[in-house]
Structure 1
Amino acid sequence: MHGFDFSTLQWILFAVCALLVGMSKVGVPGVSMLVVPALAIVFGGKASAGILLPMLMMADIFAVSYYHRHAEWKYLLKLLPWAFVGIAIALWVGHVVNDEWFKNIMAVLVFLCIGLMLWKDRQKNGQLFPNSWWFAAVMGVLGGFATMIGNVAGPIFAIYLLAMHLPKKSFIGTGAWFFLIVNFSKFPLHILFWKTINWQTLTLNILMLPAIALGAFLGIALVKQISEQLYRTAVIVLTALSAFLLLI
């Protein structure tokens, strides 16, 4: 990325992605899954992960400021060490694959997460998961890998918390803290190892801050107006289409 030499369409797409990031942190589920492949198409796989991360960090601060008191730290302490293992694996994978393979891995992870979202919706009330260390280990490593490669750990983490049967506020608060800790931990790794974050990309992120804030306001209004089922169906279809475009 050399200078801000984007087309008008790219600027619009970037602003829409920032808008969706803001919406995703105020209770509009799954919408950030659409952002990941869209940014990868514009900026490339690895570069897009570094561009998206600071926007997610800004939104995480907003989420934690509202829900910080509701976190269930016993689940965070089970999951975080394994998530860091997954991040370390992804850091190595990012070094040894080219950008085309990076985008392919992102696309596969997005499809996997869509599948998990759909499967989770069909298994709302069953006691499907054990409350054991190995389940936390598997989900933690998967989530850490997914969040480092493409910032797509949301559905994986959501399935873990749903399996623990947390109430709504505890679910949101625990998730807010998890992603704040993980995303801020990834920040220096992107700078030092992948070199996907620099002053230029951070300037782009700051320019998108108003769009992130607007997305938060629009998200609050949207949640009140449309049915969750209609929204989730639209998100899944659009996200699957975007992930498919990554493979082309």
Structure 2
Amino acid sequence: MTLPDLAPAAWLLLAVAAILVGVSKTAIPGINTLSIAAFAAVLPARSSTGALLILLLLGDAFALLSYRKYAHWPTLLRLIPAVVTGLALGALFLALADDTWVRRVIGVILLFVVAFTLWQRARRAASPPQLPVGDGAVPQSGRLAAGGYGTLGGFTTMVANAGGPVMSMYFLAARFPVHAFLGTAAWFFAVINLAKLPISIGLGLITPGLLSLDLLLAPGVILGAILGRWIAERIKQRAFDWAVTVCTILGACYLLIA
């Protein structure tokens, strides 16, 4: 299994990106877009997608270990039809559009989702705070929101592994507490990424050389997951919300100008 021939600076960038993958899974989901950008800058597009998927799955495992009991299952079940629709639309879009259009369309979608979510939260500013999941709380997002966010999430994850920011905005709009947010996101992305694994293998996106690369980068994901868990236990709800929002905006801007 031959490793990619990369410069020291490229290895450093990938190592930082691997740490951010771990942090994104256990603390700040939106920051994962920076990892996508780093991998795409260092590796060919197809290789970056395959290599990152394996690391995302490792991060998913740590997220489930940390937050699996906090998931809000009614929300996850409500998303299934819309996500499947989004995946199908994403596959169709990939067949018709080139890479530039893919990035720009997703960037525009993300900025729209951020703006809509902030507007929605401003309207609800006077409403009571969300109770912890498990104590009778019901997320303040109905079927229409689930349909919209779910479709966009399925679409973006299919075409560019960029479903994280969209779904982060959905969980943010639902006004989940930090742990409920992370638990629901953990199950959602673990299932989606597992479903994408055989497809990626079939398309030749995952090669022995990339598996060797992932093996070297795996400690970074583990370190990031541990660091993220430390952050999640200490971060305030307002700071968490804004961190997710800012990272999503940065990711959208990258996709627009890349």
**What TM-score do you get using the length of structure 2 for normalisation?**
0.77
SS in 1 for 2:30: coil
Query: How many percent identity over aligned positions?
Result: 32
Instruction: Flag the 1:121–1:44 CA change in 2: closer, same or farther, 3 A.
Output: farther
Number of residue pairs matched? 243
Q: 2:239 aligns with which of 204, 228, 243?
A: 228
Residues 97-144 of structure 1: per-residue CA shift (max 9 Å, x gap): 3444444445445545665676577566367x9744332222111011
SS at match of 1:125: coil
**Deviation by residue 1:181-219 (Cα, 9 ceiling, x = unmatched):** 111111112222x43223222222222101111222333
Q: Do structure 1's residue 200 and structure 2's residue 235 form an aligned pair? A: no
Q: Give the counterpart letter for 1:71 in structure 2.
A: A
> What residue is the counterpart of 1:151 in the other structure?
161
- Alignment-derived partner of residue 134 in structure 2: none
For 1:42, the equivalent position in structure 2 comes to: 42
Q: Which residue type is aligned with residue 70 of structure 1?
A: Y
The offset of 1:69, in angstroms, is 1.6
**Residue 168 (structure 2) pairs with residue 134 (structure 1):** no
Q: Please tell me the root mean square deviation across aligned C-alpha atoms, in Å.
A: 3.3
Residue equivalent to 1:32: 32
Give the corresponding residue for 1:81: 81
Could you tell me which amino acid in structure 2 is paired with residue 33 of structure 1?
T
CA distance, structure 2, for counterparts of residue 117 and residue 35 of structure 1 = 23
Structure 1, unmatched stretches of 5+, are: none
Separation in 1 of the partners of 2:126 and 2:196?
A: 34
Residues 106 and 118 from structure 1, CA distance in 2 versus in 1: closer, same or farther, beyond 3 angstroms? same
| Aligned residue identity for 1:65 | L
Which TM-score applies when normalising by structure 1?
0.79
Matched to 2:188, the amino acid is F
Question: Once structures 1 and 2 are overlaid, which stretch shifts more, 42-51 or 3-12?
Answer: 42-51
Quote the Cα distance in structure 2 between the aligned partners of 1:139 and 1:232.
16
The residue aligned with 1:243 is: 255
Match of 1:55 in 2: 55
* Distance change >3 Å, CA 231–CA 140, structure 1 → 2: closer
